[in-house]
Amino acid sequence: MLKNYSTYFENAKAASGKIIAPTIVNQVLTDLAGAAIAKTEYLLKENQKDLDRMDRKDPKYDRLTLTADRITDIAKEIKNVASLETPLGDVFSEKTMPNGLHITKVRVPLGVVGVIYEARPNVTFDVFSLCFKTGNVCILKGGSDAHYSNKAIISIINDVLLSHDIEVNMATLLPAEREASDALLNATGYVDVLIPRGSQQLIDHVRNNSKVPVIETGAGIVHTYFDEFGDLEKGANIICNAKIRRVSVCNALDCLIVHYTRLRDLPQLVKQLGEKKVSIYADKTAFTILKGHYPDSFLNHAKQEHFGTEFLAMRMSLKVVESFEDALEHIKEYSSKHSEAIISEDTGRVEQFLNEVDAAAVYVNASTAFTDGAQFGLGAEIGISTQKLHARGPMGLEELTSYKWVVRGNGQVRP
């Protein structure tokens, strides 16, 4: 199967390792941002072809959707990447050994970066921008749901590269069929690292079947714990923002945990969610308190499967706990180690939460909606890693690099 796609991989490999001056890199990205805005009508037209093939009730529909405002935001992120300092050439450490060898540890590109992703056309722009800035070649395998959108985006990228006499194989979009994904998983010798972005099913498939090294970007099963010392006004606003700002993204709130001493405040805590028509799957205690204080059509009894679920929709679960320790245990059991938050004014509780909760991003009195490369000052992100090797959390420029040892001598030989 690999031979059917070998030309894509060979061309990408041949394009890697080329040195492009930082000023040219930044100009390409700036021009790409301008081209995205200029081609808004074209992008929306092609995106609509994809949208017409998808059920509006599908949780991926929002992720797939491009709008003029979203394209403007994408362009801003591309410009942000252009404005950042390149990490390439950074020296981690430097020393001279007793024998006179001068040794430095220097940041370098990963090489050829493969990315498999689902119905999120903005990822095509993000991946190219970050990879190009860090001297990497990218091979993109988008989902068939975004076929027309991704083809349109890659055509714009290619046009900008050609306008600067740069090899278009710096960015390769593989065909939409599943066979191309399988070929990418087996592209050893061509692809240096593979990054999946999407559902847990996609991530598991890539991890279990790839012969290429994988950096996992995990699904987001996100909790917010409202402590007995939590501020009600802060809590209500944070919880609403974390849930409804954009429900289809991985940093959206999935489970609210509330300390039992704050049950009297529970109706007020979730009032905004009711106004926004969020369906709550409440445990027995929470259901009893909310009955008559939350819209009946959006209040449901929680089942076991509602905990540990990434909803990606206007739905969430609600758990009441007897103690702070019970909240920690609930998070430990169901967390995907993506983003977790505590709302509390108690310093001791806060510090214990930060120290004991194992997640890529841990929040105090703030919305988990901030788990995003641009919000973390990274310009954009290639994904949010929930593993612990190489990268964790939003992956920006530095996470798309490795390092090598540079050893300078003057005739030294080892005895």
Q: Give dist(CA 277, CA 295) in Å, integer.
A: 8
Cβ burial 55-84 (10 Å sphere, 16+ → b, else e): eeeebbbbbbbbeeebbeebbebbbbbbeb
Sequence letter at residue 132: F
Instruction: Work out the number of other CB atoms within 10 angstroms of the CB of residue 47.
Output: 23
Q: Give dist(CA 150, CA 168) in Å, integer.
A: 15
Q: Give dist(CA 170, CA 88) in Å, integer.
A: 17
Lowest-pLDDT range of 25-39, 211-225, 253-267: 211-225
Reply yes or no on whether the pLDDT at 153 is more than 80.
Answer: yes
- Summarize pLDDT for 179-207 with one digit per residue, the tens: 999 999 999 999 999 999 877 788 889 99
Kindly indicate the confidence band of residue 385, based on its pLDDT and cuts at 50, 70 and 90.
confident
What 8-state DSSP symbol labels residue 23?
Answer: H
> pTM value?
0.84
Nearest to 399 by CA among 382, 411, 413: 382
Cβ neighbours for 244, distance < 8 A, ≥ 6 positions apart = 273, 276, 278, 314
DSSP 135-190: T-EEEEE--GGGHHHHHHHHHHHHHHHHHTT--GGGEEEPPSSHHHHHHHHT-TTT
Reply yes or no on whether the pLDDT at 1 is more than 70.
Answer: no
- Summarize pLDDT for 35-50 with one digit per residue, the tens: 999 999 999 999 999 9
Reply yes or no on whether the pLDDT at 329 is more than 90.
Answer: yes
Reply yes or no on whether the pLDDT at 301 is more than 80.
Answer: yes
> Nearest-5° angle of CA 45, CA 148, CA 31?
75
Q: Greater confidence, 197 or 294?
A: 294
> What is the structure's pLDDT at 223?
98
The residue count for the chain:
415
Kindly indicate the confidence band of residue 390, based on its pLDDT and cuts at 50, 70 and 90.
confident
